[in-house]
Chain A
Amino acid sequence: MQTPDEIIHQPVRLKIMAALNTLEARQWLEFVALRAIVQATDGNLGAHLTTLEAAGYVLVKKDFVGKKPRTRVCLSRSGREAFGRYVIALQAILEPGSLEPDHQQN
């Protein structure tokens, strides 16, 4: 059985990935909006985004709207694929008989 992705398998990072996965490809979400959805602090969210960015799962864009700084986040293609695989791995764990010893050895 495939082990769920360790990078995604962390509560805050899982929420980030789940939130960004609801958007269409190349659709960006503002940091403040993501913070409201995930319900994390600025520092916590920033740290986990850095981890996901380093893994190539999210893209982070920083720019200015007038004089106001703005940070936007988007799920990368590999991030979307990794999240899909992660969900499949979780569902596989819940399938009847999937945790029997002979299945775990395979």
Chain B
Amino acid sequence: MLPTAEEAAQALRDIDLIKHRAAGFQDYRAESGQLILWGLAYLAGFSLSACFPRYLLGIWTAVVLAALAIGTWLAVRSGAGAGIVRRYLAVITTILSFIIAVHWVFWPISPEQGAMLAPLFLSALYVLRGIQLRPRYTVIGAALGILSLGGYLFLLPVFWPWMAMACGGTLILSGLWLRSH
């Protein structure tokens, strides 16, 4: 029997709803892996920075390159097509370019000031992404920004260990939170 126009409209609305839900689910799943990865990278980077403050450039170059290599592998493995790898590399390149450019413009800056750039930029990106797309990103961005800024303003004597937990920990927990979606 032919469905009525009302039933057909309802079926098409259901399809749209599921499309949206599936897209959100896949988006959160893909993002969760990257959040955990970069959270671990920040945890390692800030912990090593606390132990070896003279070798910040070497530490962060190694950490970023390792995370980038693993992140690219994760993007390839996601099976979401070649476009996703290109977009992933473009996003990371943009973030790194922004951080290098701000260092250049405002140099000289202290290591602590330099270490605030990536977390604050990421925080703003996630808040904006959450406002436009999915609400969980706003929570992640706000938590990252508040904890990082709080550490810089009030916990400077223990800045590096604090950032290992505040930045690395927040990203890891956020990744696990998205995975539970």
Asked whether A90 lies within 8 Å of B12 as measured between CB atoms, the reply is: yes
Asked whether A93 lies within 8 Å of B15 as measured between CB atoms, the reply is: no
B25 within 8 A of A: yes
Rounded to whole angstroms, the CA-CA distance of A93 and B12 in the bound complex is 11
Asked whether B11 lies within 8 Å of A37 as measured between CB atoms, the reply is: no
User: How many residues in A have their beta carbons less than 8 Å from beta carbons of B?
Assistant: 24
Asked whether B12 lies within 8 Å of A91 as measured between CB atoms, the reply is: yes
B94 within 8 A of A: no
- In the bound complex, residues from chain A placing their C-beta under 8 Å from that of B26 are 22
Asked whether B14 lies within 8 Å of A37 as measured between CB atoms, the reply is: no
Asked whether B3 lies within 8 Å of A93 as measured between CB atoms, the reply is: yes
B105 within 8 A of A: no
Asked whether B18 lies within 8 Å of A18 as measured between CB atoms, the reply is: yes
B102 within 8 A of A: no
B58 within 8 A of A: no
- In the bound complex, residues from chain A placing their C-beta under 8 Å from that of B69 are none
Which of B2, B22, B23 touches A3 (beta carbons < 8 Å)? B2
Q: In angstroms, how far is the closest chain A Cβ from the Cβ of B26?
A: 7
Name which of A3, A15, A91 has the most chain B CB atoms within 10 A of its CB: A15
B133 within 8 A of A: no
Q: What is the total of A-B residue contacts with beta carbons within 8 Å?
A: 61
Asked whether A14 lies within 8 Å of B15 as measured between CB atoms, the reply is: yes
Q: In angstroms, how far is the closest chain B Cβ from the Cβ of A33?
A: 7
Which of B11, B22, B23 touches A9 (beta carbons < 8 Å)? B11
Rounded to whole angstroms, the CA-CA distance of A24 and B84 in the bound complex is 13
Q: A14 with B2: in contact, given A24-B79, A27-B79, A37-B21 (CB under 8 Å)? A: no
Contact digits for A8-48, partner B, Cβ 8 Å, 1 yes 0 no: 01010011001100111001000001001110000000000
Rounded to whole angstroms, the CA-CA distance of A9 and B4 in the bound complex is 12
- In the bound complex, residues from chain B placing their C-beta under 8 Å from that of A36 are 25, 181
| Chain A contact residues, CB within 8 Å of chain B | 1, 3-4, 9, 11, 14-15, 18-19, 22-24, 27, 33, 36-38, 87, 90-91, 93-94, 99, 104
Interface pairs (27), CB distance under 8 Å: A1-B2, A3-B1, A3-B2, A4-B2, A4-B3, A4-B11, A9-B3, A11-B14, A14-B15, A18-B18, A18-B19, A18-B22, A19-B22, A22-B22, A22-B23, A22-B26, A37-B22, A38-B18, A87-B12, A87-B15, A90-B3, A90-B8, A90-B12, A93-B2, A93-B4, A94-B9, A99-B5
What 10 pairs between A and B have smallest CB-CB spacing? Answer: A18-B18, A93-B8, A22-B22, A90-B8, A18-B15, A19-B22, A15-B18, A37-B22, A19-B18, A37-B21
